[in-house]
Amino acid sequence: MDGDAVKAKRYINRELSWIAFNQRVLSLALQSKSPLLEQAKFSAIFSNNLDEFFMVRVASLIAQLESNSSRLSIDGRSAAEQLQAIHQQLGPLLNQQHHHLQHRLLPQLEQRGIGILDYPQLSRRQKDWLTSYFQAQIQPVLTATRLNTPGKPFPFISSLSLNLAVEIQGSDLGGNELIRLKLPTKNIPRWITLPVALHGERAGALHLCVPLEQVIRHNLRALLPGRRISSISLFRVTRDADLALQEEEAEDLMEAMQSSLRRRKAGGDVVRLELSGDTPRRVQQQLIAGMGVDSNWVQRVDGFLGLEDLMALQGVHAPDLKDRPFHGSTPAPLRDCQSPEEGRHARESIFTAIRRGDVLLHHPFDRFTSTVEEFIHQAACDPDVQAIKITLYRVSKDSPIIASLIAAAERGKQVLALVELKARFDEDNNIRWARQLERSGVHVVYGVIGLKTHTKIALVIRREREKGALRTYSHVGTGNYNSKTAALYTDLGLLSADADLGQDLISLFNYLTGFSKQSAYRKLLVAPTTLRERMLELIEREIEHARAGRRCGIKAKMNALVDQRLIDKLYEASTAGVPVELIVRGACSCTSGVAGLSEQIRIRSVVGRFLEHSRVFWFENDNAPQVWLGSADWMPRNLDRRVEAVVPIEQPDLVERLRELLTLYIEDSSAGWLLQADGRYSPPGQEKPGSSAQEQLMQSKR
C-alpha cells in the first residue's frame, strides 16, 4: 500500500468532513418534526455556512490549483482531487435543500398563513400596490450597468450580491445588450411584505410577502422604456474573501486592516456563480467569460438564490411555528448579587460570591446577561475596582459589555481592551468598536504581530476594603463576549478569584500588550507556547496508565479536530487500550473504530437547536482526573497561529459537573451523529431513543 493510500485510510479529509457537518445542519431543516420556521432558519444557516466555505476553503484550494502547488491534504489528496470531491458531494445536498423548500416547506408555511408569493399569483390590487412601491422605493435606487460593452472591461460584481441580468434586443452597438441590475437588498427587504388590507382571499394570513427580484422583474418596463427585453435572469457570485495582511510591514495595524478590507470589497477572484434555472445558455456563457469563473463552479438553481435571506422570516410573529423561547436562568451562586432593578438592591456583590468559590457557567442555560455581563457591569460601577482588562474577538452590534467598559473608563478606572481586528468577517465591526472605545478613554491594543488573539479572557483588579490589598477576579471562557451569540451557542466559562489564575492573566495580558515574552504560566495552558505540548503530554500519561493497568481515559469536546500530531497521539492511545470519547461538532480528520488504529476511539457530533461551541478536555489520570476548558480547538491554526488559553477546573464539585456534562453529550442518541469506521456518520435514532443533551439541559433550567 503506497503512502497516499495509507493516509486515506488513516485520516478523513477536512473539507469533506466539514461538508458532512453542514449536511447535519441541513438535516435539521429537513426534519418534519422541526417547527416550520425553524426549518427555514436551518436552511438559511446551511446556505450561510456554504457561502463562507466557498469564500475561504474552496477559494484556497482553487488558489493552490492555479499556482500548481504540490501541497497535499492530510489524507493525501491534491487540490484538484479535493475540488472534484467537493463538487460531487455538494450537488445532491443543494438539490435536497431546494426540493424541500419548494415542495414541502413553502407550501406548508402557506397553509399556516405565511406565504412567499410568486408575482403571477397576485391580484390586480396587490400588483398595483407593488407597482407604486416599486416606483417610490425601488426604482430611484436602481442603476442599470451594461455588462458587454465592446472594448470595455467586464464591470465588477460584488460578492454575495443578488443581480438581474437583463438581455435586450437590438443594441446600437450591435448584437444583444446585457444589462446588470444589482438588487438593493441592503436598503430594501428581500421579501416585500404586503399590507394586511391587501391579503384579499388570504384574509387571516399571518404574513404575505413577494420576492424583491420578482417585483423588479415585473416592473422593468418602467425602468427601461421602449427596450425589447428578451430574457431576465437572476445571478449571484461568491468571491475569495481571504485577507492577506502583512503585519510585520505595517506601521499602523488598523490602517493596514482597513486597506485589506478595501481590497476584499474590491473583489477577490470569483469562486462560484449561481444562476436561476431559466438563464439562457448564451447569457450564462457571457457571465462565465466576463468573470473568469470555472464552469465547474456554476450552479443553476430552480428556485430562490441567496437562501440565507430566509432568516428574515424569524421576524414573523408566529410562536406556534418556532421553538419555545428559552432564556436560561441565573446560577445559584450568583442569584443574590444581581444589579438593582425597580428599587430592589442586591444582597451582595458578585465579587463576594466569586470569593466563596469558583463558578462554572454554561451558556445559554446559564444566562449570559446575569453572569458575564453582570460581572463586567459591576466591575464598571464598583468604586473599589481599579482596572478591567478584556479580549474582544466578536462583539455584538449593541453590546452591553462595550457600554460597561466605556462607563468604567469614564469613571477613571484603568480599562484595557484587546480588540482582534483580524476576526474573519467581523473586521469592520471590530474597527468601529476599537475607535469608539479609544474615543472614550479605553486603552485599546491589537495583539501580537503574526498571531490572531482568539482567547476569551477578562480580568478585574479590585482593592479589598478589609485588607486594602489588590485582588484579582478572572473569567476564562470558550465563547465570545457577545450577547447575541451567547443566546445561540453553547459555551462554558469560569469565574474565579484564584490568585494564581489572576497572576497568569496579568502575565498573559502583558504578553498581549507587548510588555513581556511570557512562556510559562502557573495554571493556564497558552497557545502557541505551552498548549500543544502539554496536551500531547497528557495523552501520553493516559497511555502510560493503560500500559500499567491503571484507570485511564480521555474525553474531549471541541468544534474541530484536524491536527495530525494530536490525531496520531490519539491513535497511539487507542492501540494502548485507552478509551477515547470525543464530541466533535464540525470537521474531524480522526477516524473511529478502525481495526488496529482507532478501535478504542468513539466520536459523536451533536447538532441541535444551539450551535455547540464549548471546548473541554478530560484526562482520567488513574482516578485523579484533570479537566480543562478554553477557547482552542485541536487544529494547527489554534495551536500554532493563535493566542489561546485553557484553564484547569480544580474545584471538586465543578469537576463532577463537567463529568456529568460530558457523559450527557457522549450518550446523546437524539441529536448525536456517530462516526463509523467507514468515515460516514450514522444519524440519530439508530441507538436507544432519548431526549437530546440540549433538551435535558434546557429542562433543568426552565
CA distance 51 to 195: 33
Which cell numbers in the block locate residue 264? 476584499
Alpha-carbon distance values, 423 to 225, 308, 455, 494, 586 (Å): 46, 21, 12, 23, 19
CA distance 90 to 79: 16
What residues are paired with 92 via a beta bridge? none
Nearest CA-CA partner of 367 in 392, 338, 397, 391: 338
Task: Please state, as a whole number, how many other Cβ atoms lie within 10 Å of the Cβ of residue 424.
Answer: 13
Alpha-carbon distance values, 460 to 5, 266, 340, 374, 671 (Å): 53, 42, 21, 13, 38
Task: Mark whether 207 is an active-site residue.
Answer: no
Nearest CA-CA partner of 585 in 5, 18, 138: 18
Q: Is residue 202 classed exposed, middle or buried when 0-12, 13-18 and 19+ CB atoms within 10 A define those classes?
A: middle
Which cell numbers in the block locate residue 371? 453572569
Sign of the alpha-carbon torsion through 155, 156, 159, 162: negative
From its phi and psi, is residue 16 left (phi > 0), alpha (psi between -120 and 50) or beta? Answer: alpha
* Residue in 454, 475, 545, 613 annotated catalytic: 454
**Non-local CB neighbours of 300 within 8 Å, separated by 6+ positions:** 275, 276, 277, 279, 284
Would you call 565 helix, strand, or coil by DSSP? helix
Nearest CA-CA partner of 84 in 339, 379, 297, 334: 297
Q: What is the DSSP string of 192-234?
A: EEPPGGG-GGGTT-SEEEEEHHHHHHTTHHHHSTT--EEEEEE
CA distance 52 to 46: 10
Would you call 618 helix, strand, or coil by DSSP? strand
Nearest CA-CA partner of 371 in 394, 350, 388, 355: 350
Which cell numbers in the block locate residue 189? 427587504
> Which DSSP symbol is given to 93?
H
* Residue whose C-alpha cell is 422593468: 220
- State the catalytic residues: 454
